[in-house]
Amino acid sequence: MNRARCSIFSLLLCLLPSTVQASAIDSLKTFIQEARTVRATFSQVLLDQNARTIQESSGTMLFERPGKFRWIYEKPYEQLIVGDGTKVWFYDQDLNQVTVRQLDLTIGSSPAALLAGNSTIETDFELMEINPQDQIEWLEATPKTTESSFELIQLGFSLDGTLQIMALRDNFGQTTLLTFTNLVKNIALPADTFRFIPPHDADIISD
């Protein structure tokens, strides 16, 4: 890891809340095993290689294991990402454009695999504990495949095992920082939560 990249993640860890619990890896495995459904609000910050803010956004995230998720971006632009268990739909409302991909090609080594995937996470990721910061326990997940669009993913859990923060570094050196609030586990979700029907006049692109 070069010095610039180290400085970005050092800065992130300094900015985040931080006390120590059992193990961040244990918290992740418990989260995967016990949280069958999740709903949370999130704020997202995209940083460049020099840790300068490029974009800020916010919205709501829901998922149901295995492989179903719904990310609703509300600000500054309305966008929607839906995984229905078979396909992943990306809908840009401003462009009225839908991109659809096969789920098995998308989720294997992506952030969604960490959140909405099954209990075989160590098949796709190398997991490593990193130093706790204040009241947050951290782990690092490195994709085993070179086809992933992310070089590194870091997850931070509070002392009670609640997912608080997710930091992702992509292959271009940019870092996406996601902070989760109001996270609720194992709630009943409507049957159509993870169903997406493209608008009749939308442009549809299949990868």
Q: What pLDDT digit, counting tens, does each position of 92-103 carry? A: 999 999 999 887
CATH assignment at residue 96:
2.50.20.10
In a domain, 2, yes or no: no
Per the structure, how many domains does the chain have?
1
C-alpha dist (Å) from residue 182 to 7, 101, 162, 179: 30, 30, 10, 10
At 56, list the tokens. 């800020």
What's the confidence (pLDDT) of residue 71?
92
In a domain, 3, yes or no: no
Q: What pLDDT digit, counting tens, does each position of 103-155 carry? A: 775 565 566 667 887 766 777 788 999 988 888 999 998 888 777 778 889 99
What is the span of the domain harbouring residue 97?
19-198
| Cβ neighbours for 127, distance < 8 A, ≥ 6 positions apart | 25, 28, 121, 139, 140, 141
Q: Which residues pair with 155 in a beta bridge?
A: 139, 166
In a domain, 203, yes or no: no
In a domain, 76, yes or no: yes
| pTM for this predicted structure | 0.80
In a domain, 12, yes or no: no
In a domain, 112, yes or no: yes
